Structure 1
Amino acid sequence: MINSTSNKQVKRVINLQAKAKARREEGLYAAEGLRMCREFAPSEVEALYVTPAFEGQKENKEWLKAFSYEVVTEEVMKAMADTRTPQGVLAVARQKTYALDDLIKPGKENAPILLMLLENIQDPGNLGTILRSGEGAGITGVIMSRDTVDIYSPKVIRSTMGSVLRVPFLYTDDFTAVCTRLKEHGIRLFAAHLKGMNNYDCQDYTENMGFLIGNEANGLTEAAARTADCCIQIPMAGKVESLNAAVAASVLMFEAARQRRAKG
């Protein structure tokens, strides 16, 4: 049993939780909680840590049979965890990698492409919610500018509720160039923009397409907005000027899902 927070493994986990650079260099990340950890296949996990209380529960013993794991004290688990009240299980998992070609393939049952293109999203909760809502709406992938928040940060991982393991994604150093390449592949782009002249629910999202969503405070850069085939807006009642980035993205994704169901 690991009972010291000075243990080398413990320090490594704490470093992975705190630093995006460490996660990038090692190609690893930490994920907490039974719901998230149960999403992993044993081959995806480099290390698994549990407390004696977690290990002692009958249903957990059965699940743990597939894994090699270390037992740690409650104090050590609290030191490693990013949450205030850890659930007694934490995994160090291997990051997934995708190429652009993986994201421009049709979806399940040859469904049309539906991409989310995120420029400089900074709030971990927004990114996590977009992935989770996106999976529910049937998106086929997420493409992010390099300055978007780290998808493997603890808060993003928790917000995705496992969707990060199932939705293909990638970061790009040249966001506008990737947008241009998508258009060359026949993928129509719609930019969510305050100056959009077209209401979002009056457009056709049933073919290969993607939604451009910009930074929470500043929206899309002009360069990114210019790559769009159409700038759209979500009409607002009252004195509300705009929606939270994740809410706006969800409205758009589920409108696309509704249209695709209707087309059948």
Structure 2
Amino acid sequence: MIESSTNPQIKKIQKLKKSARNRRKEGLFIAEGVRLVEDALAYHRAEKVYLSENVKEEYFDRLSHKLKEADVEYVSSKVFQEMSDTESPQGVLAVVRMPEHDRTTIVEQEGAAVICLEDIQDPGNLGTIFRTAEGAGMSAVIMSAGCVDLFNPKVVRATMGAIFRLPFFVTDNMTKEAERLKAEHFSVYAASLDGARFYTEETYEGKCAVIIGNEANGIRPETQQAATHKIKIPMEGQLESLNAAVSAALFMYEIHRNR
């Protein structure tokens, strides 16, 4: 049992929690909580699992059949509290290998539907969009390099495990990505306050991509210009726009409704 926060393994976990650079360098991230660790084990991504000495029996029982094949380490409750990124830890945490996905496989799917995110900054928004994208049956999520790190612990938690199941990749330039998608026979829709049509007026036939922009500034002008369509959400009252995750949900489920 690990009983000191100066243990090299604990120091490694702290670095992975706090630094996107370290996560990228190691190709690892942290998943905390029974549900996320269960998914990491199910998809064979868990490098090592850490259990608090006082982990609840119900949580242990839920994981026990998968833990037989895992590298498991127990830690004291005090050390686990220091490892944890949550206010009420469940006593279950894993160091996880980052998933990898092939862009070609994604975009060549017949009827592929992708959600593109340009410079999304809020961890809760990014994680919620991932979770919703899985629920709406999207083929993939494409993120610009300016988005908050997908493997930030807050983002990972908000995905509710979708991070293990939904294909994704990062593009250095969303404008060029939109142009590339058009060349691959995608209809590319930009969510815009000055859209020519409401999002419910489109049919989203064939392969399609919807771009959601930064929470404060929206989609970059050059990326809007690269889209094939500008679409908007009807707004009443004095509001200009909705939360990015809410807007993304409306677009994704409209695509789902039309399929």
TM-score with structure 1 setting the length: 0.93
Whether the aligned pair in 1 keeps the contact of 2:178 and 2:226 (CA below 8 Å) is: yes
1:10 alignment partner in structure 2: 10
User: CA offset at residue 99 of structure 1?
Assistant: 3.2
For 1:148 and 1:71, the matched residues in 2 are separated by 35
Which amino acid in the other structure matches residue 51 of structure 1?
S
User: CA offset at residue 54 of structure 1?
Assistant: 2.2
Q: Report Cα offsets for 1:99-135 as digits up to 9, x if no partner.
A: 32132032xxx5x111111100000111111110000
2:80 alignment partner in structure 1: 77
2:48 alignment partner in structure 1: 47
Which amino acid in the other structure matches residue 96 of structure 2?
A
User: CA offset at residue 78 of structure 1?
Assistant: 1.1
Which amino acid in the other structure matches residue 46 of structure 1?
E
Whether the aligned pair in 2 keeps the contact of 1:194 and 1:233 (CA below 8 Å) is: yes
For 1:61 and 1:93, the matched residues in 2 are separated by 18
Structure 2 runs not aligned, ≥5 long? none
Q: Report Cα offsets for 1:58-90 as digits up to 9, x if no partner.
A: 614444223120000111111111111110110
Residue among 79, 91, 109 paired with 1:88: 91
Which amino acid in the other structure matches residue 45 of structure 2?
E
Which amino acid in the other structure matches residue 84 of structure 1?
E
Equivalent positions of 1:1-264 (< 5 A) are 1-41=1-41, 43-54=44-55, 59=61, 60-106=63-109, 112-260=111-259
For 1:6 and 1:188, the matched residues in 2 are separated by 53
Structure 1 runs not aligned, ≥5 long? none
Whether the aligned pair in 2 keeps the contact of 1:102 and 1:168 (CA below 8 Å) is: no
Whether the aligned pair in 1 keeps the contact of 2:191 and 2:211 (CA below 8 Å) is: yes
Q: For 1:138, what is the secondary structure of its paired residue? A: coil
User: CA offset at residue 256 of structure 1?
Assistant: 0.6
Q: For 2:22, what is the secondary structure of its paired residue? A: helix
Which amino acid in the other structure matches residue 9 of structure 2?
Q
User: CA offset at residue 98 of structure 1?
Assistant: 2.0
For 1:251 and 1:55, the matched residues in 2 are separated by 38
Whether the aligned pair in 1 keeps the contact of 2:45 and 2:99 (CA below 8 Å) is: no
For 1:21 and 1:247, the matched residues in 2 are separated by 29
Q: Report Cα offsets for 1:17-65 as digits up to 9, x if no partner.
A: 1110000000000000001111123731111100122275561444422
Whether the aligned pair in 1 keeps the contact of 2:47 and 2:71 (CA below 8 Å) is: no
User: CA offset at residue 177 of structure 1?
Assistant: 1.3
Whether the aligned pair in 1 keeps the contact of 2:30 and 2:93 (CA below 8 Å) is: yes
Q: For 2:222, what is the secondary structure of its paired residue? A: helix
For 2:3 and 2:108, the matched residues in 1 are separated by 48
Identity of aligned residues (%): 41
User: CA offset at residue 234 of structure 1?
Assistant: 0.2
